[in-house]
Amino acid sequence: DHARMPGINMGGVLIKPLQDFDLQFEMIISSKGYQIKSIGDTHISNLLIYIDLPIMVKKNLYTVKNFNVFLTGGTSVMYKILSINLVSEIEGIRKLDSGILIGLGSQFNRVSFELRITRSIINFDRVEPRKYNHVISAGLNFYFKEPHG
């Protein structure tokens, strides 16, 4: 019996413009987690901290002046740096995870907003089967210089 927990992401992005699309490289520190039912009605919150390294294709779907709508998709490698709860460090969590992601967003000048879905393709728990990271995220991005597009 698992319940999802909210998390936070923070990081940076490098965009490489190509002819028909952009390649987008990111480095993100992200928190993920879940609650498990322990004894009776007691729940334990498990917190996992990762360094995520997504590589994505970004395609503009609609552009008018300084505003555009874009679609992103790609893959990510995630390296676990911490897995804890209030009792102890969590045993059996894999160091490496990998996933696929897809997102839809809009950009105006140097600010963009993106909704993204990420799903790991590797069971992240070596002890318990069928445990995958499922993340729905909303991101607000600020660019230091005007991105291509």
The per-residue pLDDT for 115 is: 97
pTM for this prediction: 0.84
Residues of the chain where predicted confidence (pLDDT) is lower than 70: 1-2, 146-149
| Residue 130 to residue 77: CA distance in whole angstroms | 19
The mean of the pLDDT values for the chain is: 88
The per-residue pLDDT for 73 is: 98
Query: Tokens representing 123?
Result: 């069971």
The per-residue pLDDT for 146 is: 64
The per-residue pLDDT for 147 is: 59
Q: Residues 55, 24: contact at Cβ < 8 Å?
A: yes
The per-residue pLDDT for 57 is: 98
The per-residue pLDDT for 2 is: 67
Strand partners, 59: 71
Q: How many CB atoms lie within 10 A of CB 107?
A: 21
